[in-house]
Amino acid sequence: MKDGNMVTVISIINEILHYSIYYIPIAGIFVSLWGYKKSRKIGYVMIAVYFLVTLALPPLSRYLMEKNPEYIQTKKYLDEAHANAFADLNKRYPDKFSADTKIKSRVSKVPLCEIILLFGIVLLIIKEPDNNRQNVLGYTEKQEPDCK
């Protein structure tokens, strides 16, 4: 594999991992509601609420953090330190760094616990008997026809 292809593959995997914090909880909500529909157990609704909280909490936390004056002050300080570090690098190595050079970095968090929970729920649902399935006569599997 050529070097350029490897960089492309790594960047695609990085994008998938970065956005997995969104699509794993969404899949968890749908799978949990599928389990509730199949077995009518309230535990599946509670697991769906857990996935909903994991989906809604990071944007809410980010919003509240941006309103905090201490966070704003710290962010300004770090931005100034970052700019000073780049200015120093530009002076030392003018051929490698320019004034508009920026470091592109992103941390990809893999929601491993949510993935394990999602697969566990799927395994439980597969083995769960279907309480809503009707037979040919229109009776559910738990009901017996009155033939007395």
Question: What is the pLDDT tens value at each position of the chain, 148 positions in all?
Answer: 566 677 788 788 878 877 888 888 999 999 999 999 888 888 999 999 999 998 888 888 888 888 888 988 998 998 888 888 877 877 887 777 665 666 666 666 778 888 889 998 988 888 887 766 555 555 555 555 556 5
CB 55 within 8 A of CB 22: yes
What 3-state DSSP class applies to 134?
strand
User: H or E element: which one contains 136?
Assistant: none
What confidence score (pLDDT) does residue 30 get?
Answer: 93
What confidence score (pLDDT) does residue 48 get?
Answer: 92
Query: DSSP for 74-126?
Result: HHHHHHHHHHHHHHHHHHH-TTT--TT------PPPP-HHHHHHHHHHHHHHH
What confidence score (pLDDT) does residue 86 get?
Answer: 78
Model pTM? Answer: 0.61
What confidence score (pLDDT) does residue 4 get?
Answer: 65
Query: How far is Cα 59 from Cα 111, in angstroms, rounded to an integer?
Result: 16
Instruction: Count how many Cα atoms sit within 13 Å of the Cα of residue 51 in the half-sphere of its side chain.
Output: 26
Residue 25 CB neighbour total at 10 angstroms: 22
